Amino acid sequence: MTSSAIREILKITQRPEVISFAGGLPAPELFPIEEIKNAADRVLTDHGPAALQYSTTEGHLPLRNWIAERSRISPDMVQITSGSQQGLDLLGRVLIDPGDVVLVESPTYLGALQAFAPYAPRFVEVATDDDGIVPEALDDQLAGLDAKLLYTIPTFQNPTGRTLPLARREALLEITRRRGVTIIEDGPYNELRFRGGEVETIFELARRDSSPDELNVIMLGTFSKVLAPGLRDAWVQGPRHVIDKLVQAKQAADLHSPTLNQMIITELLDDVLTNQIKIIREAYGQRAAIMIDAVARKLPEGVTCTNPEGGMFCWVTLPDETIDTEPMLAEAVDRNVAYVPGRPFYATGARSNTLRLSYVTSTEEQIRTGIDALGAVIADRLSRGVPARL
Amino acid sequence: MTSSAIREILKITQRPEVISFAGGLPAPELFPIEEIKNAADRVLTDHGPAALQYSTTEGHLPLRNWIAERSRISPDMVQITSGSQQGLDLLGRVLIDPGDVVLVESPTYLGALQAFAPYAPRFVEVATDDDGIVPEALDDQLAGLDAKLLYTIPTFQNPTGRTLPLARREALLEITRRRGVTIIEDGPYNELRFRGGEVETIFELARRDSSPDELNVIMLGTFSKVLAPGLRDAWVQGPRHVIDKLVQAKQAADLHSPTLNQMIITELLDDVLTNQIKIIREAYGQRAAIMIDAVARKLPEGVTCTNPEGGMFCWVTLPDETIDTEPMLAEAVDRNVAYVPGRPFYATGARSNTLRLSYVTSTEEQIRTGIDALGAVIADRLSRGVPARL
């Protein structure tokens, strides 16, 4: 199911009777619809011709200025993209030559694997534990490996929900600088912390003592998770020599992202955005707590689950490595509950006894009902025993 | 200037004192701003959560249905793209392997050359005359050439404004079928006829006697030229096996095009669109007539210009092949007039004494003033003599 996993799952989740923990969809009832409607009206009234005309490849300057100021960089270090998926694709296009080693977490975001795959890298998994990438293990690995890129989601990772602690971020930066590796830091969930203290991004740590051209960290940010994904507005920020290449690649790929959408988002910066982040953190925090509680009480003994401090996902591991959550999905959907099987999130060496749950698009009652059903599916599976090991 | 030509030109055209015939921009004063504003309001009021959520990669089904019905094909033969530029990029991605022969007109649309270039094809120019591609010459060429694709803009071509007559379209179809070549028919200007009779698209000719899987023509269409380019909505229609691959490529490239924009366009189909096409045809027809008249009267003797029946461009050839319109552009901009030098439109064997003019974004007075200025620039250039031939 790897290659079209996201797409097929999006289809399953459209069946109304299924309680879906499968999607990576933000909660639509929290979208600031009225504010977006008013912003669209203002933009079209005040700047109609500009909003509807062709525009520059780099993106709408006031939006790039806001992003740049936030990270204390210059706007020529920011490229607007149509979702972070496009940022990943364009980065693959300009940075990856066939056979290049790209280090990834184990597991990692499957959309990134899909975005990079056409450029034929050699994916190598980095050792991880409950706190994410293990720096010492990475350093050892790099001694025998000519790696070009490290792709990581250090904050509320997709799919595990894990967050890399500050000390490890500092260590990662030191190691990659010393070893000549560029970090691609994917940060779609950065704003979605609902408990615990903020941790600085690797980009921010790197920016402090790097010139705009020496920086070895590229960060992706998006408005999909904090405003609305259907607008498809995200960005890549990084060293100028990379952004310059991205501009060329973006021009060949689609000329520019929709002007109207970028202007709508610019209207929502600061006030609406700040308020949205507050609303989303509160709602997701409540839903996460309910799910973590239900998982602890209703999933069979031996099942483990991460306990995220933010973001949209938690990660479940079943007690026997021979269990495969892919065929089990059909049983789950029969009981009207859906998840994403873990396998497609692994670049190599998949652990098939894993699955991803999203807590953000379900009500309290749906979470309880869905986790009950999932508990029954897993218990059934365990009671049937596991295939004999050969 | 080839690689970033469009982008640099878009920058020049933003200087208000320059009369620009350079852009490929539709006339912004004709954008249906009020109608788009009302459509955005209706979409967000009636379908806010769906308009702002992630959606399917293939595109908004009612929009695909409309496109499909118009061409009497099924909606699974239609993929929505973010502008035709993305359609070209994705087609390059799924159809072109390094070294594949891609036949192109001479000259052709430089954005297509840029979109295909990353996939490392071998571009081969097809012989053209004042009516476009010469079928007999193509057939002879194909006898000694293992060509995979033929990229063509048969209707109001960019950059020449030429239209391929029906008999040649039929011949092209017969030849490519016999020789096993797939045609990519780019049709961004198809609706913009202001004089002469309609000519059927090659796609339509092919569809009549091909099954959805045997079809050897892929067509690109767009709403950029008839509604507004800033919405970035276009499509590719073609045989199912190609569209299936495009869906996969689109998913890796940017998941899907913005939902809101697709729903806005769906609201404008039929009534607003029909009316817009009427308005645009009339306005562009008037502007073309004024430009063709001014060119005939004000450009020095020996200069030739095409006389398009629709679309946005005409193509000027200066009387001496050794003149280079690239350095001449600086002289033109000094006199506050801009054009696109011809060279980047050639895949190989450029004729440097050519340039493209757009008549659609200028007023009658601007056209007269600008062509006067261009006439002076060319006269100056000719009076200085041409470099001695070696």
Section B328-348 average pLDDT = 93
Residues 283-342 of A with CB under 8 A from B: none
| DSSP per residue, A336-350 | TEE-EESGGG-SSS-
Q: Which CATH number fits domain B5-30+273-380: 3.10.20.30, 3.90.550.10, 3.40.50.720, 3.90.1150.10?
A: 3.90.1150.10
Residues 212-271 of B with CB under 8 A from A: 224, 228-232, 247-249, 251-261
The alpha-carbon gap from A360 to the nearest alpha carbon of chain B, in Å, equals 13
Q: Which CATH number fits domain B33-268: 3.40.50.11740, 3.90.550.10, 3.40.640.10, 3.30.230.10?
A: 3.40.640.10
| DSSP per residue, B147-185 | EEEEEE--SS-TTT-----HHHHHHHHHHHHHHT-EEEE
Helical (H) or strand (E) element with A201: none
Residue B150 pairs with which residues in a beta bridge? B103, B183
**Are A252 and B52 an interchain contact pair (Cβ–Cβ within 8 Å)?**
no
**Are A260 and B231 an interchain contact pair (Cβ–Cβ within 8 Å)?**
yes
Query: What pLDDT was estimated at residue B118?
Result: 92
A114-162 tens-digit pLDDT:
999 999 999 999 999 999 999 999 999 999 999 999 999 999 999 999 9
Burial A54-87 (b: 16+ CB within 10 A, else e): bbbbbbbbebbebbbeebebebebbbbbbbbbbb
Helix, strand or coil, per DSSP, at residue A81: strand
How many Cβ atoms are within 10 Å of A269's Cβ, its own excluded?
17
Say if residue A390's pLDDT is above 80: no
Residues of B in contact with A251 (CB under 8 A): 4, 6-7, 114
Torsions phi, psi for A150 (to 5 deg): -120, 115
**Are A41 and B36 an interchain contact pair (Cβ–Cβ within 8 Å)?**
no
The alpha-carbon gap from B360 to the nearest alpha carbon of chain A, in Å, equals 13
Say if residue A193's pLDDT is above 50: yes
C-beta of residue B79 within 8 angstroms of C-beta of residue B250: yes
Q: Which residue on chain A is closest to B116 by alpha carbon?
A: A252
Query: What pLDDT was estimated at residue B384?
Result: 85
Query: What pLDDT was estimated at residue B174?
Result: 97
Section A76-85 average pLDDT = 98
C-beta of residue B232 within 8 angstroms of C-beta of residue B254: no
| Strand A122-125 to A182-186 pairing | unpaired
**Are A53 and B28 an interchain contact pair (Cβ–Cβ within 8 Å)?**
yes
C-beta of residue B1 within 8 angstroms of C-beta of residue B344: yes
For chain A, the average pLDDT equals 94
Length of chain B: 390
- The answer to whether the Cα torsion of B219, B224, B229, B232 is positive or negative is negative
Please tell me the distance from the alpha carbon of residue A57 to that of residue A63, in angstroms, as a whole number.
13
In CATH, what class is A5-30+273-381?
alpha beta
B22-52 tens-digit pLDDT:
988 999 999 999 999 999 999 999 999 999 9
Helix, strand or coil, per DSSP, at residue A234: strand
Residues of A in contact with B235 (CB under 8 A): none
Say if residue A1's pLDDT is above 50: no
Say if residue A4's pLDDT is above 80: no
The alpha-carbon gap from B369 to the nearest alpha carbon of chain A, in Å, equals 24
Packing angle of the helix pair A83-95, A240-254 (nearest 10 deg)? 110
Query: What pLDDT was estimated at residue A320?
Result: 87
Packing angle of the helix pair A364-383, A271-298 (nearest 10 deg)? 40
Residue A194 pLDDT level (bands cut at 50, 70, 90): very high
How many Cβ atoms are within 10 Å of B76's Cβ, its own excluded?
14
Looking at the partner chain, which of B48, B231, B256 has a beta carbon nearest the beta carbon of A33? B48
Domain extents in chain A: 5-30+273-381, 50-269
| HSE-CB of A319 using CA atoms within 13 angstroms | 12
Q: Give the residue among A350, A310, A344, A362 at the shortest CA–CA distance from A2.
A: A344
Structure tokens at A306: 């991460």
Query: What pLDDT was estimated at residue A84?
Result: 97
Torsions phi, psi for A56 (to 5 deg): -75, 150
User: How many contacts does A have with B, using Cβ atoms within 8 A?
Assistant: 185
CA B169 vs CA B88, B177, B203, B388: distances in Å: 21, 12, 10, 42
- Residue B98: cis peptide before it, omega within 30 degrees of 0: no
Residue to substitute from A25, A54, A95, A261, interface B, most B β-carbons within 10 A = A54
Say if residue A7's pLDDT is above 80: no
Residues of B in contact with A82 (CB under 8 A): 82, 254, 257-258
Q: Which residue on chain B is closest to A54 by alpha carbon?
A: B230
Query: What pLDDT was estimated at residue A15?
Result: 78
Say if residue A386's pLDDT is above 90: no
B143-199 tens-digit pLDDT:
999 999 999 999 999 999 999 999 999 999 999 999 999 999 999 999 999 999 999
Residue to substitute from B233, B254, B262, interface A, most A β-carbons within 10 A = B254
User: In this prediction, what percent of chain A has a pLDDT beyond 70?
Assistant: 95
Say if residue B309's pLDDT is above 70: yes
The alpha-carbon gap from B83 to the nearest alpha carbon of chain A, in Å, equals 6
Terminal-residue alpha carbon distance, chain B: 25
Query: What pLDDT was estimated at residue B1?
Result: 44
Say if residue A388's pLDDT is above 60: no
Q: Which residue on chain B is closest to A58 by alpha carbon?
A: B7
Looking at the partner chain, which of A57, A117, A231 has a beta carbon nearest the beta carbon of B52? A231
Say if residue B7's pLDDT is above 60: no
Residues of B in contact with A112 (CB under 8 A): none
Query: What pLDDT was estimated at residue A72?
Result: 96
Helical (H) or strand (E) element with A185: strand A182-186
**Are A247 and B114 an interchain contact pair (Cβ–Cβ within 8 Å)?**
no
Q: Give the residue among A283, A281, A298 at the shortest CA–CA distance from A368.
A: A298
Whether B25 contacts chain A with CB within 8 A = yes
Please tell me the distance from the alpha carbon of residue A208 to that of residue A165, in angstroms, as a whole number.
18
Whether B36 contacts chain A with CB within 8 A = yes
**Are A33 and B54 an interchain contact pair (Cβ–Cβ within 8 Å)?**
no
Query: What pLDDT was estimated at residue B2?
Result: 47
Fold held by A50-269: Aspartate Aminotransferase; domain 2 (3.40.640)
Query: What pLDDT was estimated at residue B390?
Result: 42
C-beta of residue A182 within 8 angstroms of C-beta of residue A149: yes
Residue B103 pairs with which residues in a beta bridge? B124, B150
CA A286 vs CA A20, A241, A269, A355: distances in Å: 18, 43, 25, 21
Residue A355 pairs with which residues in a beta bridge? A316, A341
A235-251 tens-digit pLDDT:
999 999 999 999 999 99
**Are A257 and B115 an interchain contact pair (Cβ–Cβ within 8 Å)?**
no
Q: Which residue on chain A is closest to B60 by alpha carbon?
A: A230
Helix, strand or coil, per DSSP, at residue A323: coil
Query: What pLDDT was estimated at residue A9?
Result: 58
Say if residue B99's pLDDT is above 70: yes
Section A172-191 average pLDDT = 98
Residue A12 pLDDT level (bands cut at 50, 70, 90): low
CA A300 vs CA A320, A371, A372, A374: distances in Å: 12, 11, 10, 10
Please tell me the distance from the alpha carbon of residue B140 to that of residue B130, in angstroms, as a whole number.
19
| Contact residues for B353 (Cβ-Cβ < 8 A; gap 6+) | B317, B318, B319, B320, B321, B322, B323, B324, B325, B342
Q: Give the residue among B323, B319, B312, B245 at the shortest CA–CA distance from B284.
A: B312
Query: What pLDDT was estimated at residue B293?
Result: 98
Length of chain A: 390
Please tell me the distance from the alpha carbon of residue B94 to that of residue B119, in angstroms, as a whole number.
9
- The answer to whether the Cα torsion of A93, A97, A99, A104 is positive or negative is negative
Query: What pLDDT was estimated at residue B320?
Result: 86
C-beta of residue A262 within 8 angstroms of C-beta of residue A223: no
Say if residue A8's pLDDT is above 70: no
Residues of A in contact with B118 (CB under 8 A): 93, 249, 252
Helical (H) or strand (E) element with A153: none
**Are A93 and B228 an interchain contact pair (Cβ–Cβ within 8 Å)?**
no
Please tell me the distance from the alpha carbon of residue A266 to that of residue A60, in angstroms, as a whole number.
9
**Are B52 and A45 an interchain contact pair (Cβ–Cβ within 8 Å)?**
no
Section A294-306 average pLDDT = 97
Residues 81-120 of B with CB under 8 A from A: 81-83, 85-86, 89, 93, 111, 114-115, 117-118
**Are A258 and B256 an interchain contact pair (Cβ–Cβ within 8 Å)?**
no
For chain B, the average pLDDT equals 94
Query: What pLDDT was estimated at residue A3?
Result: 45
Q: Give the residue among B150, B142, B172, B147 at the shortest CA–CA distance from B106.
A: B150
Please tell me the distance from the alpha carbon of residue B160 to that of residue B138, in angstroms, as a whole number.
19
B235-251 tens-digit pLDDT:
999 999 999 999 999 99
Say if residue A253's pLDDT is above 90: yes
Terminal-residue alpha carbon distance, chain A: 25
Q: Is there a common fold for B5-30+273-380 and B33-268?
A: no
Q: Could you tell me where the beta strands, DSSP code E, fall in chain B?
A: 19-20, 78-81, 101-104, 122-125, 128-129, 132-133, 147-152, 182-186, 217-222, 234-237, 304-305, 313-317, 337-338, 340-341, 354-358
Query: What pLDDT was estimated at residue A23?
Result: 83
